[in-house]
């Protein structure tokens, strides 16, 4: 079981490192998302620099990475592999080894993680994202909105594991569900803080 779980984690990490924003930037004329706008290789920066359609492509691809990693992980090692594989995808997106560990913030990939591992929480996750995008006062407080969402995600997944509530297609909740939520939230929080750092 350990070897299967490690394989699920490795597969998730590799999938997470697929550089969606870089690929879309190159297709749009060689734009490097790290050299323009906010410098973040994510959907919002691509949308700002190239256009909304390009941003949506990156957004869909990044969400897909988390969701696919969760599905593949579950096929390899059950619920444990799904939870940890999707978590590894978020880490891979934020810290891709073959891109100098300079990745995106991981929010979209974590949405895919939620979709695959904790679908009962998915509507809340999407609602927070919509409110953040639609309301200017929250748009300027993306870190605060993400933190609130993460706290609810961690608490909810812990409750689902302890109570063994139905989890739709997300698999049987185990300790790895809240653990994955916690690890992903910490990684995303660190990326936000690093983005604010002047160095």
Note down the domain range covering 163.
2-196
Q: 144: which 2 tokens? A: 């605060």
* pTM of the model as a whole: 0.90
Q: Which of 66-80, 95-109, 136-150 has the highest mean pLDDT?
A: 66-80
What's the confidence (pLDDT) of residue 132?
60
Report whether pLDDT(167) > 60: yes
Query: How far is residue 106's CA from residue 98's CA, in Å, rounded to a whole number?
Result: 17
Instruction: Report residue 101: phi and psi, to 5°.
Output: 60, 30
**Residue 16 near residue 88, CB atoms below 8 Å:** yes
pLDDT band for 79, please (50, 70, 90 cuts).
very high
d(CA 198, CA 38): 12
Mean pLDDT value across the chain: 89
| 21, 22, 26, 31: CA torsion to nearest 10 | 90
How much of the chain is helix, strand and coil, in % rounded to 5?
A: 75, 0, 25
Q: Report the domain count for the chain.
A: 1
């Amino acid at each position: 079981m350990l070897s299967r779980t490690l394989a699920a984690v490795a597969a998730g990490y590799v999938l997470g490192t697929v550089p969606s924003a870089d690929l879309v930037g190159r297709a749009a004329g060689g734009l490097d998302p790290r050299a323009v706008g906010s410098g973040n290789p994510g959907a919002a920066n691509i949308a700002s620099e190239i256009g909304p359609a390009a941003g949506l492509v990156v957004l869909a691809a990044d969400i897909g990475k988390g969701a696919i990693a969760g599905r593949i992980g579950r096929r390899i090692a059950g619920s444990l592999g799904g939870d940890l594989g999707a978590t590894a995808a978020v880490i891979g997106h934020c810290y891709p080894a073959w891109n100098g560990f300079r990745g995106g913030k991981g929010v979209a990939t974590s949405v895919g993680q939620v979709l695959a591992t904790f679908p009962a929480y998915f509507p809340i996750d999407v609602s927070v994202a919509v409110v953040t995008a639609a309301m200017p006062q929250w748009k300027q407080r993306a870190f605060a909105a993400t933190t609130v969402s993460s706290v609810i995600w961690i608490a909810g997944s812990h409750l689902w594991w302890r109570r063994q509530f139905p989890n739709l297609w997300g698999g049987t909740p185990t300790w790895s569900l809240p653990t994955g939520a916690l690890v992903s939230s910490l990684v995303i929080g660190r990326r936000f803080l690093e983005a604010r750092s002047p160095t």
